[in-house]
Amino acid sequence: MRLTSGLWVAAYVRRAFVEGAFAAVVRRGSEEAGAIFVVVDWLDGTVDLYGPAPQTAFDDSKPTDRLFSHIGKRIDRLALQARIASEMRFDPDVWVVEIEDRAGRAFLDIALG
C-alpha cells in the first residue's frame, strides 16, 4: 500500500531538515493522492524542479515506491512559476515542496532513463 501524499510530504520535509537543508510546503494538495512536485533552490537565483516519474519508469516489483523525474535544471523562478501553474491547471490537487540547499540536494529517488 502506498503512503498518502500528506504523510510522504511530512516525512520528506523532516528528512531534509535532518540532512541540514531547509524545507517548506509551498502548496498543500490532496492529502490522499495529490501529485508531488519538489523545487530545489540552489540559493543563487536558480532552481531545479522534480515531478512524478512516468508510470513506465516504475519497477513492477515495487509499484508503491515514489519515483521522480528531473523536469527542470537550474531554471529561473519565472520558468518555475509557469510550469507549476501549468501543472495546477491539469491537476489542482498538486503539492509543491521547496528545499533550500546550496549543494542542490533533492533527497529523492530519481527514475533512471
What is the DSSP annotation of 41-97?
E-SSS-EEEEEEPPGGGS-TT-TT---EEEEEEEE-HHHHHHHHHHHHHH-TT-EEE
Q: Which helix (H) or strand (E) holds 26?
A: strand 22-27
Q: Is residue 15 part of a domain?
A: yes
Q: Is residue 105 part of a domain?
A: no
Q: Is residue 22 part of a domain?
A: yes
Q: Is residue 113 part of a domain?
A: no
User: What is the pLDDT, as a whole number, of residue 2?
Assistant: 78
Q: Is residue 109 part of a domain?
A: no
pLDDT band for position 109 (50/70/90)? confident
The SS3 call for residue 23 is: strand
CATH of the domain at 38: 3.40.1530.20
Q: Is residue 106 part of a domain?
A: no
CB 72 within 8 A of CB 43: no
Q: How many domains does the chain have?
A: 1
pLDDT band for position 55 (50/70/90)? low
The pair phi, psi for residue 111, each rounded to 5°, is -70, 140
Q: Residue 26: how many CB atoms within 10 A of its CB?
A: 13
Does residue 73 register a pLDDT over 60?
Answer: yes
Q: Is residue 58 part of a domain?
A: yes
Does residue 17 register a pLDDT over 70?
Answer: yes
Does residue 63 register a pLDDT over 90?
Answer: no
Domain carrying residue 33:
5-100
Q: Say how far apart CA 97 and CA 101 lie, in whole Å.
A: 13
User: What is the pLDDT, as a whole number, of residue 7?
Assistant: 96
User: What is the pLDDT, as a whole number, of residue 3?
Assistant: 87
